[in-house]
Structure 1
Amino acid sequence: METQFLFPSSSGTYCRSSTRCVFRSYNLLAVMYVGLIILIIRETAGVQVTGGNITVVQGGTIILPCKLTDTVESLTQISWQRRTREKPQNNNFFIIPAKNGPRFVDGQDNRFQFVGSVSDFNGSLQISRVTLMDEGVYTCIFTLFPSGNYKAEITLNLLVPPVTSLKDNCPVLGNVEASLVTCTAAGYRPSAEVMWQTGTLKEKVRTATNSTQHANGTTTTDSSLFGVPTREISQHQVQCVITSVALQKEETLPFTIQVYFSPREVTISHKSDDSFQCLSEANPPANFTWSRADGLWPKSAVAEGATLHFSSMTSDLNGEYQCEASNQYGRKYSYLYLHVPSGHCSACWTLFSILLFLIVFGAAAVWYRRTKYRGSETVSAGPIEEIRELAETTCRPVFHLL
């Protein structure tokens, strides 16, 4: 008679051999494993992590949104990776453990701030003072238990507004076409346009535009206004207009065309008996310098810019004075000769006093006689005025404009 042994199985029943027991145990484990997988799939089928594209103007502040939805599993950690212009290799740079709080992985950067909530499955990051080197792809990763990792990518795009400027090309008066002014829109992306508004000068000027691409993906555009530098176009106003998607509104730069030239004819005007002024047309305005041909400068002569003033008219002022008008494009001169009489002037005024006394005395005598014998008559003051005018003319300074 054969003896049979019964072996307990994992299901609580007994089997006749150990081999059959092991086979039945494996079948039960497989069923349990498959059931667990099905359960996990059911639990995670609706899990979603937000992502997308974000655009920001350089220097601004932006939030990288990252939120996980439709899960009841436990959140272990939120991780951030990035692949940017500055760091092209994808790497972890910021993690938010469920219990210990956020921290940086590869160096502190206080421009990044965690603005989400672990309890709400929100891993959003805020970046301030964004630069072109921050542009790239950011990956947000949620680690759940027991299902594992779920992630989404956020692409950060930067708009770089142009740095605008105007440069006066300092055209000199002439009859050959020259560059009058250059308008520059520097370091922009993705696009910008530079245009000119010239008004009544439309038929007298033309534009030339050149763009340069830079290694960092930005562009610089120079637009120059060309024309013949004549007096006719000088002092006319034009406008450079820059438009760009990185600008909130178009930017307008006004400019007054300047045509430069050396001092033209220099003239000296007689402002008063003791002062003279030097005049000349020039652009930029001329600087005026007074000097004497003999190199000797009297104490009573005072030069203030274009004006020459004499504090007292004495004979030491006699001589030739030079007025120089100058700017960086040239210089012109004009001359003044001054002569102040001396010596005989005091004699003239002494003679005038004596003659005046004699005339007054004689006139009084004549008046007395006529009053006594013929009645009242008026005595003419003509001789007195003639003698006074002669004395003043003899002592008056003489000047000649050369």
Structure 2
Amino acid sequence: MRFYKGPMISLTCCVRVEEERMCRENCTEGSKSGWHKKSQQVAPSPQTELPRLNNVSMAKRLLTAPSSSAKKPRNLTLTPQCRAEQFPNDLYVSGLQVIGGSKSVVQGGTVVLPCKLIDTMETLSQISWQRMTRGKPRNENFFTILPTKFVNGHDERFEFIGSFDDNNGSLQLSNVTLMDEGTYTCIFTLFPSGNHKTEIPLNLLVPPVSSLEANPPVLGDKEVSLVTCTAAASKPPAEVRWLTGDLAGKLRTTTSSTEHGNGTTTTISSLFGIPSREINHQVVQCVITNAALGSKQTLPFTIQVHFAPTEVYIHERASGLFECVTEANPDATFTWSRFNNSWPQNAIRVEGATLQFLSMTSDLDGLYQCEASNPYGTERSHLHLHVSSGGCAACWALFSLLLVMTVVAAVLWYLHKSGIFQRFSAVKKQFS
């Protein structure tokens, strides 16, 4: 055997593969210098002492180089413990692997942190987990799995779903929050090679809180903000865009983002245009896209342009039924009134914009006014009503009688003027 104790690489036990078992039987493990012969303290000889090494591959070549006193090259290697300490990431040292992988989860969901050890025949002593997250910025041990039990920390959301016998250390985390985002380290402790680990980055996806804020403008000729769409506190940042349909080219958008200290982002997009009657009551859509959403989120919005009532018209819908019509936003309220006369309650019915005369009598004669108003203005229109006569049955009977008498008088007068009465009298005398 030859020994080496270097200041940079403490390779203290280098033996041939077939001598490894003998070394375990005849050597003890020192607290600092590695393996020593039980019967004596052995120091490195000048001929075999290796130089200070800074390169791992150079160390391997020197370890397999022949001793100056040997007659032929000796095939030297390291014990498993030396391999794990000096070359933890080199497949030459060990074929075992700890398999993990990065994971992403939506806030409030459940995620499995995978961790499995493969390609080893060594004895597994324990599996332990460490984390360094937004909520726990310092690396800490929080979960330990032993052959007969597992010890959880204070966070009951973690559940061991692996199998100690199958070298599976996977954990399940439920009700994930943004404070759980970070790096989780799974560590397998083996004998005799020691600890082997892998890191599992956990990425949190936070869906946006979406909303629309209306900014109803008053009719005008200057460009103003019409509506604002907000996708708040999302991770990653949400994409916000507008579908304007027939108004494409007449409206424009502006978008801005604000990043918060907890890693989330708020995206705000506003829609601008000239407030005209043309765009009033037109429908646009705010479309929000984010990895935390199962599908695109669409928020429809009807553009509102406020203006005072336009010209008021009074239409007769039926006999004695009149309606007041105008255009306004918000909708106008209507008030009917009568000039210079009291309001005949029993003869008139008013419902919103309509005025109905229940009977047509001369006492309803007069000038009526319809007033349309909203917070932005007032417009009026007038109705003049004239009833020539009453509508009673006696009046109609008298009128009929007078009409018959007039016709009879007219016939008699015609007969007299034409001489028919004289000829009739002469004939009557002749026969008598």
Q: Same fold (TM over 0.5)?
A: yes
Q: Look up the match of 1:67.
A: 116
Deviation at 1:81, TM superposition (A): 2.7
Letter in 2 for 1:190: P
- Select 1:50's aligned residue among 88, 99, 103: 99
Q: Does 1:358 align with 2:399?
A: no
Q: Look up the match of 1:217.
A: 263
**Distance between the aligned counterparts of 1:295 and 1:211, measured in 2?**
64
Q: Look up the match of 2:138.
A: 89
- Select 1:31's aligned residue among 19, 27, 33: 27
Q: Look up the match of 1:336.
A: 383
Q: Does 1:288 align with 2:313?
A: no
Letter in 2 for 1:160: V
- Select 2:208's aligned residue among 155, 162, 178: 162
Deviation at 1:324, TM superposition (A): 2.8
Q: Does 1:230 align with 2:279?
A: no
Where in structure 1 are there 5+ consecutive unaligned residues? 1-26, 367-372, 374-402
* Equivalent residues of 2:96, 2:119 under 8 A apart: yes
Deviation at 1:347, TM superposition (A): 6.6
Cα distance per residue 1:177-230 (max 9 Å; x no partner): 211222323222334433344455454333222222222122222222222212
Percent identity at matched positions? 58
Letter in 2 for 1:169: N
Q: Look up the match of 1:106.
A: 154
Letter in 1 for 2:233: G
**Distance between the aligned counterparts of 1:284 and 1:61, measured in 2?**
48
- Select 2:304's aligned residue among 230, 237, 258: 258
- Select 1:311's aligned residue among 358, 361, 364: 358
Letter in 2 for 1:312: S
TM-score normalised by L of structure 2 = 0.65
Letter in 2 for 1:174: G
Where in structure 2 are there 5+ consecutive unaligned residues? 1-22, 30-34, 39-77, 85-92, 414-419, 421-432
Q: Does 1:324 align with 2:371?
A: yes
Q: Does 1:193 align with 2:239?
A: yes
**Distance between the aligned counterparts of 2:268 and 2:309, measured in 1?**
32
3-state SS in 2 of match to 1:108: coil
* Equivalent residues of 1:291, 1:297 under 8 A apart: no
Deviation at 1:283, TM superposition (A): 2.2
Cα distance per residue 1:305-356 (max 9 Å; x no partner): 2212233345665555432323333332223344556779677434314224
Q: 1:28 to 1:127 in 2, by over 3 A?
A: closer
Q: Look up the match of 1:205.
A: 251
Q: 1:56 to 1:311 in 2, by over 3 A?
A: same
Cα distance per residue 1:25-63 (max 9 Å; x no partner): xx9986254499936568994443223322233344321
Deviation at 1:266, TM superposition (A): 1.2
Q: State which drifts further: 169-178 or 203-212.
A: 203-212
**Distance between the aligned counterparts of 2:147 and 2:354, measured in 1?**
84
**Distance between the aligned counterparts of 2:135 and 2:367, measured in 1?**
73
**Distance between the aligned counterparts of 2:338 and 2:220, measured in 1?**
34
Letter in 1 for 2:180: D
Q: Does 1:278 align with 2:327?
A: no
**Distance between the aligned counterparts of 2:326 and 2:373, measured in 1?**
9
Cα distance per residue 1:46-99 (max 9 Å; x no partner): 443223322233344321101122344444443333222223233333343332
**Distance between the aligned counterparts of 2:152 and 2:411, measured in 1?**
118
Letter in 2 for 1:217: G
* Equivalent residues of 1:92, 1:106 under 8 A apart: no
Q: Look up the match of 1:383.
A: none
TM-score normalised by L of structure 1 = 0.69
**Distance between the aligned counterparts of 1:319 and 1:99, measured in 2?**
102
Q: 1:113 to 1:126 in 2, by over 3 A?
A: same
Deviation at 1:124, TM superposition (A): 1.1
Q: State which drifts further: 30-39 or 43-52.
A: 30-39
- Select 1:80's aligned residue among 129, 134, 139: 129
Letter in 2 for 1:308: L
**Distance between the aligned counterparts of 2:275 and 2:303, measured in 1?**
9
Cα distance per residue 1:148-197 (max 9 Å; x no partner): 54332211012334333333321221112211222323222334433344
Q: Look up the match of 2:345.
A: 298
**Distance between the aligned counterparts of 1:167 and 1:123, measured in 2?**
49
Cα distance per residue 1:249-269 (max 9 Å; x no partner): 555545443322111111111
Q: 1:340 to 1:75 in 2, by over 3 A?
A: farther
3-state SS in 2 of match to 1:52: coil
3-state SS in 1 of match to 2:228: strand
3-state SS in 1 of match to 2:396: helix
